[in-house]
């Protein structure tokens, strides 16, 4: 299949002739029209492989990313003068940031991309809660001044950061936030970075999906649903238990309506009835949560040692299959729960969900361990960090916040069907529920399955 970048270029048509004339000092017929529709993007370059260069010590983040990978490429810069814009950076300081204007698309729109580079740029293996806090504050501080946000981030911890930002910024997020990265640096000719970055900018600037997403390998995925499945493949991420929000191919760009999060029916018609949420951000601390993978031979004493560490307030338990564990480990877990540690049970498997069908999993529920259903480890981990941060700022009883673990907050899990939850085991074909889905192409409205969009007008989904 041809690279999706060629399809995107039909929307962002690179006017190379005009760019080359400007680069050579030639005069052009007119300046950029001031009345042209010009969606504004804040491109936050946090770091990662996408902006790394070779060095004696291996690949390291480079401060030449803007000059050599963005400004110098016609697909990201049409060559017309573009003023700097004032932004609030990751340190809370107001400063001028350079801007680029993408080539005009087929409907006459240019995307203005203001570039904010972190200082210092990060290797994503070091990214944890301080990075999440910085990114969330940067988006919130600039939210009123840009139409959407794109974040360049390393792939190693991209799934953690996207999930963390989902919990922190939603449900009071009004703009599209897209994270992306690369398996190969944009300083190299065979990089997937240009494809991923262009796709992120095009989708973020022309769609209004008010949540945190990840664009990678021609798919727009929910930020709380992704996991990294390959250290080298250009399709390095998967959303195991949820479909993509949008896909790009040589035949077009399709938004999957059924996979989007939609407001309640009464909210759609009466905005005054929508609940009001504070714009304040909870300060996250990832050092308070641990991930424990159940493996053959794990001893109760080792488990107790981990869970009695004074700083540990939450734990993600990666269990076997549908939520199983050796029974001799359960007393250590129950003791931790009695001390106030919040523990959530998720499966080690890439696909599927934990349940209380088997005896060990049921005894975990009886011991106070929360079911994580089909959450990824990354979503469960950051959810616990978020809940603990909310607990520190809330006057709600601890039990109320503990109950949030098994609830769907940001599209991170598939709630169990209450009608079949009590069957207590794998279902036979005679017991399976029947569901109908519409997958018509084209049209508009809440009943469609797939929505093909014309990108000339910003869509509000």
pLDDT of residue 107: 67
SS3 106: coil
Q: Which residue has the tokens 């995925």?
A: 221
pLDDT of residue 445: 45
Distance of CA 369 to the CA centre of its chain: 27
* Burial readout 415-453 (b: 16 or more C-beta within 10 A, e: otherwise): ebeeeeeeeeeeeeeeeeeeeeeeeeeeeeeeebebbeb
pLDDT of residue 421: 46
Q: Which residue has the tokens 């191919």?
A: 249
pLDDT in single tens digits along all 461 residues of the chain: 344 554 555 555 433 344 344 434 433 334 444 455 689 999 999 988 888 888 777 778 778 888 888 888 988 988 899 999 999 999 999 999 999 999 987 667 789 999 999 999 888 899 999 999 999 999 999 999 999 999 999 999 999 999 999 999 998 899 999 999 998 888 888 888 889 999 999 999 988 899 999 999 999 999 999 999 999 888 888 999 999 999 988 778 889 988 988 776 554 444 444 555 678 888 999 999 999 999 999 999 999 999 999 999 999 999 999 999 999 999 999 999 999 999 999 999 999 999 988 899 999 999 999 999 999 999 999 999 999 998 887 766 667 778 899 999 999 999 886 434 444 555 566 656 676 655 555 444 444 444 444 444 455 44
Do 4-19+35-273 and 287-414 agree at the fold level? yes
Q: Is 138 noted as a catalytic residue in this protein?
A: no
Indicate the fold that domain 287-414 takes in CATH.
Rossmann fold (3.40.50)
CA dist., res. 160 & res. 61, Å (int): 20
pLDDT of residue 204: 93
Q: DSSP characters for 117-183?
A: EEEEEE-GGG-SHHHHHHHHHHHHHHGGG-SEEEEE--STTHHHHHHHHHHHH-SS--SEEEEE--S
- Ordered by start, the domain boundaries in the chain are 4-19+35-273, 287-414
Q: Which of 49, 61, 80, 155 is catalytic?
A: 155
Strand-pair partners of 45:
117, 152
Q: What is the largest CA-CA distance in the chain?
A: 79
| 282's tokens | 């909870």
Class of the domain covering 4-19+35-273? alpha beta
């Amino acid at each position: 299949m041809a690279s999706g970048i060629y399809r995107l270029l039909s929307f962002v048509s690179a006017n190379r002739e005009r760019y080359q004339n400007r680069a050579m000092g030639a005069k052009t017929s007119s300046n950029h029209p001031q009345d042209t529709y010009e969606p504004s993007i804040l491109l936050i370059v946090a770091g990662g492989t996408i902006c790394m260069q070779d060095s004696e010590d291996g690949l390291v983040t480079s401060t030449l990313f803007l000059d050599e990978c963005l400004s110098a490429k016609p697909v990201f810069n049409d060559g017309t003068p573009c003023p700097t814009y004032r932004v609030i950076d990751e340190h809370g300081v107001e400063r001028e940031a350079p801007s680029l204007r993408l080539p005009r698309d087929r409907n006459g729109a240019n995307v203005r991309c203001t570039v904010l580079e972190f200082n210092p740029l990060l290797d994503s293996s070091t990214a944890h809660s301080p990075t999440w806090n910085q990114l969330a504050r940067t988006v919130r501080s600039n939210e009123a001044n840009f139409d959407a946000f794109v974040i360049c981030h390393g792939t190693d911890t991209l799934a953690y950061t996207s999930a963390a930002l989902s919990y922190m910024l939603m449900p009071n997020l009004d703009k599209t936030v897209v994270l992306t990265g690369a398996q190969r640096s944009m300083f190299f000719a065979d990089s997937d970075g240009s494809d991923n970055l262009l796709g992120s900018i095009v989708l973020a600037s022309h769609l209004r999906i008010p949540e945190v997403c990840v664009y990678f390998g021609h798919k727009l995925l929910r930020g709380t649903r992704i996991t990294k499945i390959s250290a080298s493949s250009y399709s390095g991420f998967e959303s195991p238990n949820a479909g993509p929000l949008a896909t790009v191919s040589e035949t077009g760009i399709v938004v999957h309506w059924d996979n989007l999060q939609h407001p309640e029916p009464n909210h759609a018609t009466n905005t005054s009835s929508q609940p009001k949420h504070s714009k304040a951000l909870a300060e996250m601390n990832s050092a308070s949560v641990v991930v424990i993978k159940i493996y053959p031979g794990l001893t109760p004493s080792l488990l107790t040692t981990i869970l009695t560490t004074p700083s540990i307030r939450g734990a993600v338990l990666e269990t076997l299959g549908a939520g199983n564990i050796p029974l001799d480990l359960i007393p250590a877990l129950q003791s931790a729960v009695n001390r106030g540690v919040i523990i959530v049970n998720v499966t080690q498997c890439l696909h599927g969900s934990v349940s209380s069908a088997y005896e060990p999993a049921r005894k975990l529920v009886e011991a106070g361990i929360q079911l994580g259903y089909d959450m990824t480890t990354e979503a469960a981990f950051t959810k616990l960090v978020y809940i603990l941060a909310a607990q520190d700022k809330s006057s709600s009883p601890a039990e109320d916040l503990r109950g949030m673990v098994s609830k769907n907050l940001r599209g991170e899990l598939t709630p169990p069907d209450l009608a079949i939850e009590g069957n207590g085991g794998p279902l036979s074909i005679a017991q399976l529920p029947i569901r109908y889905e519409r997958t018509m192409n084209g049209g508009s409205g809440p009943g469609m399955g797939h929505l093909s969009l014309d990108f000339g007008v910003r869509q509000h989904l």
